[in-house]
Amino acid sequence: MSDPALIWSYLAQGPLLWLTATLVAYLAGDAIFRAAGRSSWANPVLLAVIPLALLLWLTGTDYATYFEGAQFVHFMLGPATVALALPLYDNLPRVRRAALPMLASLLAGSGMAVLSALALARTFGIEGSVLASLAPKSTTAPVAIGIAEKLGGQPTLTASLVLLTGIFGAIVVTPLLNALRLRDWRARGFAVGVAAHGIGTARAFQVNATAGAFSGIGMGLNAVLTAIIAPLALQWLGG
Amino acid sequence: MLAIILGFQLAGEVISRSLDLPLPGPVAGLIGLVGACILRPRLADAIRPTATGLLSHLSLFFVPAGVGIVAHLDLLRTHGIGLAVAVMASTVLAIAAGALAFTAVARLTGTEEPQALKDQGRE
């Protein structure tokens, strides 16, 4: 029988442990989500992140070590984004027909996300690099980080704010749009894609295929528009 | 097939970086793949099993980045309340504004889709 400390030090170095932990945490989170009748508060991302964070804290593992194992899962974000081409292609005639509503929704949602976030943060005395890190928080993570860097923000803080926005958006979207009595799946999906990027899109796919397809388009278009309006908004409100 | 999807991501990455586009490589790859599917509809059938599999576990791929929040907890604590209010309120406002604008313009332009309504026929 080997010394448990030796086994631990072997496992703690390789990617196997944290890759397995990530997959198990996700399966558990997804099982809870299903058991909870796919309700939006039981967000699978949040449910998987909490036990993993606790485990890292308990074992004194730093994020860099964790990420060495988890990077294989993280890498799949790229191909999964490309795979959004399929629902978009399947819905192409409907997307063409909805071009004007999508344009209006994109301008309203994207503009509101950037301007209201900056205006509110300003009233709490947030400025400088933290404000610049906040500006692109509704965009998908790689674009948001790129925008934040250009604006003089802190990329790591931006990544966290992007994640929080996505999780919160995915949780709030269903009750919010039910309260507003908006029943068009296209509008519901597109709006959450614009405001809460990929995590919102994941939520949209969980509830309805049409919502998922439109959410993916909203996410992609918002990435482009935010890259254009975030610097202007920051100049206007950050000054 | 994953190789096709990865190929489009790679091409998207190269194009996005070489032209200094504001959109990230995977989004450029997405646009390229839609274009290719339009030109060759059989491509859509070839990637369907893989793409459907990837998208059904989209939440999983955000978990590693989500755990990254832990590495910045102190940073978030300094401006905690202000950032929480800004993130939460702006997200609610953005979703509401986006969905209302979509619905209003769909009504104005007569592009509503009765079959795309939630709880259809349940009333």
Mutation choice for B interface testing from A81, A185, A206 by most B CBs within 10 A: A81
Q: Taking a C-beta distance cutoff of 8 angstroms, is the pair B99, A191 a contact?
A: yes
Query: d(Cα A138, Cα A158) in Å, to the nearest integer?
Result: 10
Q: Taking a C-beta distance cutoff of 8 angstroms, is the pair B99, A194 a contact?
A: no
Residue A190 is predicted with a pLDDT of 95
Neighbours of A11 (CB within 10 A): 14
Query: d(Cα A113, Cα A99) in Å, to the nearest integer?
Result: 21
Residue of A nearest to B37 (CA): A89
Question: Tens of pLDDT along A53-84?
Answer: 999 989 988 888 998 889 899 888 889 888 98
3-class secondary-structure state, position A140: coil
Question: Tens of pLDDT along B23-81?
Answer: 778 888 988 999 999 999 999 999 999 999 998 888 898 888 888 887 777 777 778 88
Residue A221 is predicted with a pLDDT of 85
Looking at this protein, which amino acid is placed at residue B57? Answer: H
Above 80 in pLDDT, residue A199? yes
Q: Do B27 and A81 touch (CB under 8 A)?
A: yes
Name the minimum distance, in Å, from the CA of B83 to any CA of chain A: 6
Residue of B nearest to A218 (CA): B98
Domain boundaries, chain B: 1-59, 67-113
Query: d(Cα A131, Cα A85) in Å, to the nearest integer?
Result: 33
- Identify which of A82, A137, A224 has the shortest CB distance to residue B29: A82
Q: Do A82 and B8 touch (CB under 8 A)?
A: yes
- Mean pLDDT across the stretch A122-151? 86
**Single pTM value for the model:** 0.83
Q: Taking a C-beta distance cutoff of 8 angstroms, is the pair B60, A25 a contact?
A: no
Tell me the pLDDT of chain A averaged across its residues. Answer: 88
